[in-house]
Amino acid sequence: MVSIVIVSHSPDLAKGVHALAAQMTQGKVKIAVAAGVDDPENPIGTDAVAVMMAIEEVYSPQGVLVLVDMGSAILSTDMALELISSEQAANVHVCAAPLIEGTMSASVAAAAGMPLDEVINEAHSALLAKYQLLDQSAKLPGGIQANYQPDPVDSENEIEFEWQVKNPHGIHARPASAIVGAISPFDAQVWLSCHDTRVSAKSINSIALLGVKQGDSLTCIASGEEAQQALQAFALLAESHFNESIDERSDEVAVEASHQVHHVAEEDGRLSAIGASEGIAIAPIWHYRITMPEARERDYLDYEQEWQLFDQACDIARRDLAELANQTATAGSKSESEIFTAHSQMLADPELGNQIKQMLKDAVNVDSAWLQVIEQTAQAYKDSPSEYMQARANDVYDVGRRVMGLLIGETEPQIVLTEPVILVATDLSPSDTAQLDPNMVQGIILEQGGSTSHSAILARALGIPAVVGLNDIMSRSQEGDVAIINGSSGGVWLAPMAQQLETAQQELEQLHRQREQDQALAMEKAKTQDGKLVDVFANLASVEDAEQALACGAEGVGLVRSEFLFMDSEKAPSEQSQYEFYSRIAGVFGEKPVIIRTLDIGGDKPLAYLQQGAEENPFLGCRGLRLCLQNVDIFKLQLNALLRARAEHPNLQVMFPMVSTPDELRQAKSLLESCYQVLQHDGVPAAIPDIGIMIEVPAAVANAKQLAKEVSFFSIGTNDLTQYVMAADRGNDAVSYLVSAAQPAVLRMIEMAAQAAHDAGITIGICGEMAGDPKLTATLIGLGIDELSMSPIRIAGVKQAMRTTQSKHAALKAKEILNAETLEQVLAML
């Protein structure tokens, strides 16, 4: 097999290229790096001896291809060839191909077992692929050609296999690499055909030039002695989606990401959009337009006065956002309330403040400065290639509009309606969405946004049916006309016929009857049909939330998010204020259990007054219990408050977040015991509560047997557990197809944790969003979950799902689901 040597002036660049190539080939190819010089103060350069050693490290009689970046890299390589034996030098080729693209293509070709001349051609062709993708008329100098539009050798004996590509991002580099690797070992001529173009299936560059997207039909054509085997290998690879995990719902995700949804399909008057919040709405259309307040034309004061105006406006905005965060904490899920926490963090961004300061120094008044900074920041988000990041531009405008209103003295516009409507807008800010009255706003249609936009998330929290991504809906719709929307399917009917109205009305009435039936029984404990009791608790963040949760039928509290108490203050809340807060919430529920999670800060939730330090990857850094154990003074205040509150409220329990090892759990318990002893010594009433932990990381599942010996209960945070098990950021649209708690790997983790808990004689609950999904209720019961904790609005539906479940049947079904290999199979079973 041909080996690769990377010669570069920059060690960091070479290491990065090496890492990419190794990932593309799963380490099948020997690759060595010769980069930089041994001079800590001036490391940029090349060294002939280092190049010689790299060649000798990976030398292969089949050949060594050396890729270089520029200038002295070529001279150093020439000198290195003089230092090795002439026999070895004869098998070493120095390639003029571009370093990064050439290394990628050459590595894939080498991994496929191609001879040196073909590997060299692939390296050179890499640049042609880029030229032609950017400009179809572009040609490379020197007569270099990609293996493009090949002539069939044995067209009469060709066999074919056709496949509709389901990969969300089409056939990009990794699937192309997998194809080359799968078919190259066979003695056959193999081509791929798409868009009336045929290319060699053994050339990653030629495959890239096809531009295969999701939904395209890709045909593999083979001839030769081992054509059948090559075709079978391709078919097997295609059926595994070219080694990528594909969610059945990824069709929708990909359409959304590529803006294809804006090409609206019409059938029987139906307009197709993205379903963002389930439910049906029938009501007259009302247009809502968001405007950014204009900056005042006024004289510049002086730097200090202008900055004071800005500082005061930001302080008020942060307080308003903290109140919004609290208000929405239980109207939806954890992520919904944290939308406004994220807005506060935007305001706290020091770079934003620095930009304002610089403009104020240039004698620009703060109104104009703020408007310019917001426009520039929002545009940077809009220009991002990521659909998820583009959606964040709306958040920037929301923050900008809020502060601008405060600067010029305009109050936030209120949405006041006198009759029920379907709200139609270009987009909605999170602040606007949060103030909507579901009794008046029956449905939402937006031109922009996606299912991951914050407006969509909040609409789901409020229970308002919504569709998004419907191009030109503002100009296509007429105010006052009755419309129908289906938030589940994404269907919109602007001029429904009588039969369509009648059908939609019947479906809507059926939904209302079901919800009324569910709500009527919400206050009763839920049992399965064969008598199994599963507690249904609420997640909350304030005393007001606690009262609402109780009214919704909560049988206890599975999660009190104490971090909101810390986020609402410019300094750490006192022990006394915490004690009063915990006592009030526990008091609302009387004898019903109340589980308070200790401070869960870090990752996406920093505190201004807590020195956390910059982290390259905060989600894998110092957060949750780890951070508390490093900030013992603040942690002790909370533990003291909890111990004091427990003395008056025996229903109060404590839960530690982000636990990975028994050792850190024992540290936390030891600190709790120490606080208790000090309070006892000082004559302060205190009592040690039952202790539990969050199961949020794979290590906690692996250590579950040991951890169970230390606590009274487990509670699984499925949001974080999913993220960590699947190694997929919840906020990254590129890997959104992996982020589902119904992934087989996540379900197996839940089952393992439940088994460990029951073996130790302790209970296990779920407090992530998964707990509030009625479609998953039976599965969770079957997996052995004892308690489900959710947003109060979801309690009635989950209880009703529980009443229709046979626990024994659910256990059998859960075993079947645990044997599933793909998310698609799990969803089909559900």
Cα torsion at 373, 376, 378, 381 (round to 10°)? -130
Q: Residue 704's closest CA among 761, 755, 766?
A: 755
Q: Which of 357, 390, 408 is the last residue of a domain?
A: 408
Residue 413: which pLDDT band, with cuts at 50, 70 and 90? low
The answer on 597 and 461 residing in a single domain is no
Please check whether residue 360 lies inside any domain of the structure. yes
Q: Residue 698's closest CA among 738, 732, 658?
A: 658
Please check whether residue 683 lies inside any domain of the structure. yes
Q: What is the pLDDT of residues 27-38, one digit of tens each?
A: 778 899 999 887
Residue 711: which pLDDT band, with cuts at 50, 70 and 90? very high
Q: Which domain holds residue 163?
A: 155-244
Is the pLDDT at 433 greater than 90, yes or no? Answer: no
What gap in Å lies between CA 8 and CA 6, rounded to an integer?
Answer: 6
What gap in Å lies between CA 429 and CA 454, rounded to an integer?
Answer: 8
Summary mean pLDDT of the chain:
82
Residue 248: which pLDDT band, with cuts at 50, 70 and 90? very low
Please check whether residue 253 lies inside any domain of the structure. no
Mean pLDDT of 482-495: 89
The catalytic residues are 454, 767
Domain harbouring 356, CATH code: 1.10.274.10
428-449 residues labelled b (16+ CB within 10 A) or e (exposed): bbbbbbbbbeeebbbbbbbbbb
Query: What radius of gyration, in Å, describes the C-alpha atoms of the chain?
Result: 31
Please check whether residue 96 lies inside any domain of the structure. yes
Instruction: Tell me the two tokens of residue 437.
Output: 């009255």
Is the pLDDT at 460 greater than 90, yes or no? Answer: no
Per-residue model confidence (pLDDT) at position 615: 65
Per-residue model confidence (pLDDT) at position 285: 94
Q: Which of 390, 408, 426 is the last residue of a domain?
A: 408
Strand (E) positions, 28-127? 31-35, 64-68, 92-95
- Per-residue H/E/C for 312-335: HHHHHHHHHHHHHHHHHCCCCCHH
Is the pLDDT at 263 greater than 60, yes or no? Answer: no
Question: Do 625 and 632 touch, CB atoms closer than 8 A?
Answer: no
Residue 249: which pLDDT band, with cuts at 50, 70 and 90? very low
The answer on 675 and 554 residing in a single domain is yes
Helix axes 744-759, 807-818, angle to 10 degrees: 130
Residue 342: which pLDDT band, with cuts at 50, 70 and 90? low
Domain harbouring 212, CATH code: 3.30.1340.10
- Identity of the highest mean pLDDT range in 14-23, 234-243, 281-290: 281-290
Mean pLDDT of 345-349: 69
The answer on 174 and 92 residing in a single domain is no
Mean pLDDT of 347-374: 85
The answer on 755 and 614 residing in a single domain is yes
What gap in Å lies between CA 751 and CA 629, rounded to an integer?
Answer: 29
The answer on 383 and 422 residing in a single domain is no
Q: What is the pLDDT of residues 554-579, one digit of tens each?
A: 999 999 988 878 876 667 889 999 99
Cα 600-606-607 angle, rounded to 5 deg = 90
Is the pLDDT at 330 greater than 50, yes or no? Answer: no
The answer on 370 and 317 residing in a single domain is yes
What gap in Å lies between CA 217 and CA 245, rounded to an integer?
Answer: 19
The answer on 478 and 356 residing in a single domain is no
Domain harbouring 135, CATH code: 3.40.50.510
What gap in Å lies between CA 122 and CA 109, rounded to an integer?
Answer: 7
Report which secondary-structure segment, H or E, holds 190. Answer: strand 189-194
What gap in Å lies between CA 311 and CA 563, rounded to an integer?
Answer: 25
Mean pLDDT of 284-295: 82
Question: Do 555 and 536 touch, CB atoms closer than 8 A?
Answer: yes
Mean pLDDT of 751-772: 93
Please check whether residue 790 lies inside any domain of the structure. yes
Burial class from Cβ neighbours inside 10 Å (0-12, 13-18, 19+) for residue 333 reads buried
The answer on 285 and 204 residing in a single domain is no
The answer on 345 and 420 residing in a single domain is no
Q: Which of 471, 489, 519 is the last residue of a domain?
A: 519
What gap in Å lies between CA 727 and CA 359, rounded to an integer?
Answer: 41
Count of domains observed in the chain: 5
Q: What is the pLDDT of residues 599-646, one digit of tens each?
A: 988 655 566 666 666 666 667 878 889 989 988 999 999 999 999 999
Q: What is the pLDDT of residues 518-544, one digit of tens each?
A: 877 888 888 999 999 999 999 988 888
Is the pLDDT at 78 greater than 60, yes or no? Answer: yes
The answer on 123 and 72 residing in a single domain is yes
The answer on 170 and 139 residing in a single domain is no
Per-residue model confidence (pLDDT) at position 352: 77
Please check whether residue 421 lies inside any domain of the structure. yes
Q: Any bridge partners for residue 493, and if so which? A: 270, 484
Please check whether residue 524 lies inside any domain of the structure. no
Burial class from Cβ neighbours inside 10 Å (0-12, 13-18, 19+) for residue 327 reads middle
What gap in Å lies between CA 154 and CA 152, rounded to an integer?
Answer: 6
Instruction: Tell me the two tokens of residue 795.
Output: 């309690």
For 194-302, where are the alpha helices, taking DSSP H only?
204-210, 227-239, 250-257
Q: Any bridge partners for residue 3, and if so which? A: 64
Per-residue model confidence (pLDDT) at position 608: 62
Question: Do 767 and 717 touch, CB atoms closer than 8 A?
Answer: yes
The answer on 743 and 683 residing in a single domain is yes
Question: Do 540 and 792 touch, CB atoms closer than 8 A?
Answer: yes
Q: What is the pLDDT of residues 123-171, one digit of tens each?
A: 887 766 566 555 544 444 444 444 444 445 556 678 888 888 888 778 8
Please check whether residue 149 lies inside any domain of the structure. no
Burial class from Cβ neighbours inside 10 Å (0-12, 13-18, 19+) for residue 647 reads middle
Residue 213: which pLDDT band, with cuts at 50, 70 and 90? confident
Domain harbouring 546, CATH code: 3.20.20.60
Domain harbouring 430, CATH code: 3.50.30.10
Report which secondary-structure segment, H or E, holds 719. Answer: helix 718-725
